[in-house]
Amino acid sequence: MPRKRIYTDEERQNRHREASRKYREANLEKVTAYNKQWKVDNWEYYREYNREYLRRWRQSKKMGRVTS
Protein backbone atom coordinates (compact mmCIF):
# COMPACT_ATOMS: atom_id res chain seq x y z
CA MET A 1 0.00 0.00 0.00
CA PRO A 2 1.49 3.42 -0.97
CA ARG A 3 2.28 5.92 1.75
CA LYS A 4 0.16 9.01 2.12
CA ARG A 5 1.87 12.12 0.78
CA ILE A 6 2.74 14.71 3.42
CA TYR A 7 2.52 18.30 2.21
CA THR A 8 4.24 21.36 3.64
CA ASP A 9 2.04 24.16 4.97
CA GLU A 10 2.72 26.25 1.88
CA GLU A 11 1.84 23.38 -0.48
CA ARG A 12 -1.34 22.72 1.49
CA GLN A 13 -2.36 26.38 1.29
CA ASN A 14 -1.69 26.49 -2.45
CA ARG A 15 -3.69 23.31 -3.05
CA HIS A 16 -6.56 24.72 -0.99
CA ARG A 17 -6.51 28.04 -2.87
CA GLU A 18 -6.54 26.26 -6.22
CA ALA A 19 -9.37 23.93 -5.19
CA SER A 20 -11.39 26.87 -3.83
CA ARG A 21 -10.87 28.86 -7.02
CA LYS A 22 -12.00 25.93 -9.18
CA TYR A 23 -15.07 25.34 -7.00
CA ARG A 24 -16.06 29.02 -7.11
CA GLU A 25 -15.63 29.06 -10.89
CA ALA A 26 -17.78 25.95 -11.33
CA ASN A 27 -20.51 26.98 -8.84
CA LEU A 28 -20.58 30.76 -9.07
CA GLU A 29 -24.36 31.15 -8.59
CA LYS A 30 -24.42 28.82 -5.60
CA VAL A 31 -21.45 30.56 -3.95
CA THR A 32 -22.92 34.01 -4.59
CA ALA A 33 -26.28 33.02 -3.09
CA TYR A 34 -24.56 31.48 -0.06
CA ASN A 35 -22.46 34.60 0.54
CA LYS A 36 -25.51 36.88 0.33
CA GLN A 37 -27.42 34.71 2.78
CA TRP A 38 -24.42 34.59 5.14
CA LYS A 39 -24.28 38.40 5.20
CA VAL A 40 -28.00 38.56 6.02
CA ASP A 41 -27.64 35.97 8.81
CA ASN A 42 -24.50 37.54 10.30
CA TRP A 43 -25.15 41.26 10.06
CA GLU A 44 -24.14 41.69 13.72
CA TYR A 45 -20.66 40.47 12.84
CA TYR A 46 -20.35 43.11 10.13
CA ARG A 47 -21.56 45.84 12.49
CA GLU A 48 -18.93 44.94 15.08
CA TYR A 49 -16.22 44.47 12.48
CA ASN A 50 -16.88 47.86 10.88
CA ARG A 51 -17.01 49.58 14.26
CA GLU A 52 -13.62 48.14 15.20
CA TYR A 53 -12.15 48.95 11.78
CA LEU A 54 -13.28 52.58 12.01
CA ARG A 55 -11.95 52.85 15.57
CA ARG A 56 -8.52 51.68 14.44
CA TRP A 57 -8.61 53.95 11.40
CA ARG A 58 -9.43 56.99 13.54
CA GLN A 59 -6.72 56.04 16.03
CA SER A 60 -4.07 55.79 13.30
CA LYS A 61 -5.28 59.05 11.79
CA LYS A 62 -4.80 60.80 15.15
CA MET A 63 -1.28 59.41 15.41
CA GLY A 64 -0.47 60.98 12.05
CA ARG A 65 0.50 57.72 10.40
CA VAL A 66 -0.41 57.09 6.80
CA THR A 67 -1.51 53.50 6.33
CA SER A 68 -2.46 52.05 3.00
Task: Tell me the average pLDDT across 40-67.
Answer: 87
Residue 3 forms part of a structural domain: no
Whole-angstrom Cα distance, residue 25 to residue 14?
A: 17
Task: Tell me the average pLDDT across 37-43.
Answer: 93
The answer to whether the pTM exceeds 0.85 is: no
Supply the pLDDT for residue 68. Answer: 53
Residue 2 forms part of a structural domain: no
Whole-angstrom Cα distance, residue 63 to residue 56?
A: 11
Residue 22 forms part of a structural domain: yes
Q: How many separate domains does the chain show?
A: 1
Residue 45 forms part of a structural domain: yes
Residue 1 forms part of a structural domain: no
Residue 4 forms part of a structural domain: no
Quickly count: other Cβ atoms within 10 Å of residue 6's Cβ: 7
- Those residues with Cβ within 8 angstroms of residue 60's Cβ, 6 or more apart along the chain or in another chain: 67
Kindly give the residue spans of alpha helices, DSSP state H, lying in 1-68.
Answer: 9-26, 28-41, 43-63
Residue 48 forms part of a structural domain: yes
| Residues 50, 56, 58: CA angle, nearest 5 degrees | 100
